[in-house]
A and B are shown apart, each in its own frame.
Chain A
């Protein structure tokens, strides 16, 4: 069984300051991990994914995430927040052995960016 915990339901930062969205996972096997972003009234957009290559993954819009197996974490970071980053972020785990490649979603973290 696999599960994902996003430790913060809401995160508020000021524009230009760093962003940290936390994610911890559990998986029976070597997982694939993803971060998706959902802007209001929009569909999900893939930010980045980890699939057992480099542990530091760079994504779109300046976001990156580091896979830490010892801590079972996959936190999402960005050096400097922009107003357009305000959205809901989902950490997602997929067990490659899982038939159908079903994804397990975290509860989501709403990022608010203050001017």
Chain B
């Protein structure tokens, strides 16, 4: 199956600092990637849709100035949590959309656990 990686797998940072998370599709090109957030004991929440070469589309209630998304190439999207606070601590998961013929499938990264102290 297709492989999507995330880096780092976990990060601890101080309140007020910024953290960048990378999402890479390793064996296919992805025009579209998605960023999700998972709260403890909760389901995934879509934060934004990342489109290569254009601005990301954010879901309602997600602050675009706080969660900066850059999709500079067909294999890399980054999420930067700016001025992180403890309430930003969460599990962040990206996915990449693989398009082939008439079928499209999302492949998920392993996730990044962020802890803000």
| A43 engages B109 (CB within 8 Å) | yes
In this complex, what residue of B is CB-closest to A90?
B43
How many residues of chain A get a CB closer than 8 Å to chain B's CBs? 18
Asked if A106 contacts B93 (CB within 8 A), the reply is: no
Give the secondary structure class of A's interface: loop
Residues of A with C-beta under 8 A to B32: 100-101
Q: Which residues of B contact A107 (CB under 8 A)?
A: 42-43
Q: How far is the CA of A45 from the CA of B43 in the complex (A)?
A: 15
Which residue, B6, B104, B106, B108, has most C-beta atoms of chain A within 10 A?
Answer: B106
- Report the minimum CB–CB distance from A36 to chain B (whole Å): 7
Contact across chains for B34 and A90 when beta carbons are under 8 A apart: no
Against B, the Cβ 8 Å flags (1 = close, 0 = not) of A84-115 are 00000010000000001111011110000000
Task: Contacts A42-B110, A100-B49 known; list 14 others, CB within 8 Å.
Answer: A43-B93, A44-B95, A44-B108, A46-B105, A46-B108, A49-B105, A90-B44, A100-B57, A101-B106, A102-B34, A102-B49, A103-B46, A103-B106, A108-B43
